[in-house]
């Protein structure tokens, strides 16, 4: 009997999985019956921008955490699909830091090429996954959000690709309950124009804090105070942005910080990260982990240690994204179609321990990048994922880190990154990022704007 695979989520990970199966099928492999369940009305996951916050039209928590004017925060060359280059998709070289709409177009292009949409059921949420009574497969309970109808289906394998940057981590600090302005998490941030002229407190010291503070300043906010808990980002911030130690309390609209300083604040944006959350997975199948490079209890970062027929994609803290998702999807596919022989529990556990031990030895971003590149290489050597120059991506990641340290406002204006797939060097963008207020794809790809001076 044909085996059945459930893929949960049609974001970049779910799409990578569908694509991997299609590539094998086109080469003549016998592939299983695949069904992908996506609770949004179309593919793309976080890249499928929504204006909504809170609950959606079905009363479902809104998945989207992306905001208007979001540009890639790393060069596109570091996430390029090895079998679908940017050159191929756009028909020419483009700059290295595309806005969200451009990357969404790229993801969609590959998904359309293999017509993987025919496997996806939209507006369909997975509510529960458990071992079936025979113990050989899984019962997956699905709800059609349009009708409210539920059904339970049997699958031989379950692949979870529901992301982990959607359920916010929302701390509370003394005085929040009496703060007269708006307090929001970055998950609900949509448009920097909301904060024009406002004095902002941005909490956190990672990518969201960095990018949302810069966005808000770029679009005309008042002074921005970034408050860190553990250590500052330490960039040479443009005028009007400064970093201070942890908040101790709010008193009305006055913020008090550990260094004894105070600031008057109009709105607070909590860039305090996200939780791995899988309420639809039965306890003994549920991934519980912090946001780290080698998540808990996953062999090869993918297979549930106790039961490799349950797989999780993209659950790592992410330097690499689309390339890593592809590497994982190829390996998951090859296990299912019998090309990758799954070792026994003891060997899986030893391999997992080896990687976790390696993870404890990492000291800083450069080590982290090498670790994740090694993880990808470890997977791709087990499959036929097309070759790409992974060592070049390591180097470019490190250059990118250096560019950020040199100037956090201009790092996106660098363009000498080289495709690890085609070798093409990217082109300069017509407008420096700080002055590029219009992020539409037509504007980005077109030549309609004059190149402006660096900030």
By the criterion CB under 6 A, which residues form the site for ligand FAD? 8-14, 37-40, 45-47, 63, 65-66, 70, 72-74, 79, 125-126, 161-163, 165-166, 280, 314, 318, 321
Q: Which of 49, 122, 207, 415 binds ligand NAP (CB under 6 A)?
A: 207
DSSP secondary structure string for all residues of 54-121: SB-TTSPBP-----TT-B-SS-GGGS-BTTB-HHHHHSS---SS-BHHHHHHHHHHHHHHTTGGGGEE
Find which of ligand NAP, ligand FAD, none residue 162 binds, CB within 5 to 8 Å per kind.
Answer: ligand FAD
Dist CA 247 CA 238 (whole Å): 22
Q: Which stretch, 75-83, 199-207, 258-266, 401-409, contacts ligand NAP (CB under 6 A)?
A: 199-207
Which lies closer to ligand FAD via its Cβ, residue 145 or residue 255? Answer: 145
Q: Which of 27, 147, 230, 453 binds ligand NAP (CB under 6 A)?
A: 230
Find which of ligand FAD, ligand NAP, none residue 45 binds, CB within 5 to 8 Å per kind.
Answer: ligand FAD
Beta bridge pairs of residue 280: none
What b-and-e string marks burial along 422-439, b requiring 16 or more CB atoms within 10 Å of the CB? eebebeebbbbbbebeeb
Q: Is 291 in the site for ligand NAP (CB under 6 A)?
A: yes
Dist CA 186 CA 201 (whole Å): 12
Q: Is 203 in the site for ligand NAP (CB under 6 A)?
A: yes
Q: Is 17 in the site for ligand NAP (CB under 6 A)?
A: no
Residue 374 burial (10 A CB sphere; 0-12, 13-18, 19+): middle
Size of the site for ligand NAP (CB under 6 A): 22
Find which of ligand FAD, ligand NAP, none residue 38 binds, CB within 5 to 8 Å per kind.
Answer: ligand FAD
Which lies closer to ligand NAP via its Cβ, residue 15 or residue 270? Answer: 270
Find which of ligand NAP, ligand FAD, none residue 420 binds, CB within 5 to 8 Å per kind.
Answer: none
Q: Which of 146, 152, 169, 251 binds ligand NAP (CB under 6 A)?
A: 169
CB of 26 to ligand FAD, least distance (A): 23
At which residue do the structure tokens 């991506």 appear?
A: 393
Q: Is 318 in the site for ligand NAP (CB under 6 A)?
A: yes
Give the E-state strand segments of 274-353 in sequence order: 274-275, 298-299, 303-304, 310-312
Q: Is 181 in the site for ligand NAP (CB under 6 A)?
A: no
Contacts (Cβ under 8 Å, ≥6 apart) of 103 = 47, 72, 76
CB of 280 to ligand NAP, least distance (A): 22
Residue 398 CA, chain-centre distance (Å), reads 19
Which lies closer to ligand FAD via its Cβ, residue 308 or residue 314? Answer: 314
Give the tokens for residue 67: 């905001």
Q: Is 323 in the site for ligand NAP (CB under 6 A)?
A: no
| C-beta separation of 190 from 49 below 8 A | no
Q: Which of residues 109-138 bind ligand NAP (CB under 6 A)?
A: none
Dist CA 237 CA 213 (whole Å): 10
Beta bridge pairs of residue 242: 225
Antiparallel, parallel or unpaired: β 182-185 and 267-270? parallel
Q: Is 426 in the site for ligand NAP (CB under 6 A)?
A: no
- Reference 188, options 279, 272, 100; nearest CA is 272
Q: Is 292 in the site for ligand NAP (CB under 6 A)?
A: no
SS3 183: strand
Antiparallel, parallel or unpaired: β 167-168 and 274-275? antiparallel
CB of 99 to ligand FAD, least distance (A): 10
Q: Which stretch, 2-10, 138-146, 268-276, 396-404, contacts ligand NAP (CB under 6 A)?
A: 268-276
CB of 154 to ligand NAP, least distance (A): 35
Give the tokens for residue 11: 């974001």
What x-and-dash track marks residues 40-79 binding ligand NAP by CB under 6 A? ------------------------------x-xx------
Dist CA 451 CA 453 (whole Å): 7
Give the residues lining the site for ligand NAP (CB under 6 A).
70, 72-73, 165, 169, 171, 186, 203-209, 211, 229-230, 271-273, 291, 318
């Amino acid at each position: 009997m044909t085996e059945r695979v459930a893929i949960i989520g049609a974001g970049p990970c779910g799409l990578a999985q569908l694509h991997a199966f299609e590539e094998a099928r086109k080469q003549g492999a016998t592939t299983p019956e695949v069904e992908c369940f996506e609770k949004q009305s179309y593919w793309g996951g976080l890249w499928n921008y929504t204006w909504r916050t809170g609950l959606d039209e079905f009363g479902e928590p809104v998945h989207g955490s992306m905001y208007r004017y979001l540009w890639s925060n790393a060069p596109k060359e570091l996430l390029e699909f090895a079998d679908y280059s940017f050159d191929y998709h756009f028909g020419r070289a483009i700059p290295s830091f595309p806005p969200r709409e451009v990357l969404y177009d790229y993801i969609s292009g590959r998904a359309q090429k293999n017509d993987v949409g025919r496997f996806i059921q939209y507006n369909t949420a997975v509510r529960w996954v458990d071992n079936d009574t025979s113990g050989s497969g899984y019962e997956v309970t699905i709800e059609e959000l349009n009708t409210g109808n539920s059904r339970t289906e049997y699958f031989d394998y379950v692949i979870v690709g529901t992301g982990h940057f959607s359920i916010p981590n929302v701390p509370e600090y003394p005085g929040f309950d009496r703060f007269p302005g708006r307090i929001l998490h970055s998950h609900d941030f949509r448009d920097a124009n909301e904060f024009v002229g406002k004095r902002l407190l941005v909490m956190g010291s990672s990518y969201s804090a960095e990018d949302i503070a810069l966005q808000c300043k770029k679009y005309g906010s008042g002074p921005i105070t970034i408050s860190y808990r553990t250590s500052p980002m330490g960039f040479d911030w443009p005028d009007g942005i400064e970093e201070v130690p942890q908040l101790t309390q709010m008193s009305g609209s006055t913020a008090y910080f550990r260094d004894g300083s105070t600031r008057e604040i109009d709105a607070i944006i909590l860039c305090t990260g996200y939780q791995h959350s899988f309420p639809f997975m039965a306890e003994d199948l549920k991934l519980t982990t912090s946001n780290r490079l080698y998540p808990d209890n996953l062999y090869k970062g993918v297979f549930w240690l106790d039961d490799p027929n349950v797989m999780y994609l993209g659950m790592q803290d992410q330097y690499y994204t689309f390339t890593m998702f592809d590497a994982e999807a190829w390996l998951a596919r090859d296990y299912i179609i019998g090309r990758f022989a799954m070792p026994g529990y003891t060997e899986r556990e030893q391999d997992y321990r080896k990687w976790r031990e390696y993870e404890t030895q990492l000291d800083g971003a450069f080590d982290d990048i090498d670790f994740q590149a090694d993880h990808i290489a470890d997977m791709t050597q087990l499959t036929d994922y097309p070759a790409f120059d992974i060592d070049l991506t390591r180097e470019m990641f490190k250059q990118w880190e250096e560019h950020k340290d040199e100037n956090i406002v201009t790092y996106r204006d660098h363009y000498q990154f080289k495709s690890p797939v085609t070798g093409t060097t990217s082109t300069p963008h017509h407008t420096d990022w700080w002055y590029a207020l219009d992020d539409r794809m037509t504007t980005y790809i077109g030549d309609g704007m004059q190149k402006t001076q660096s900030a």
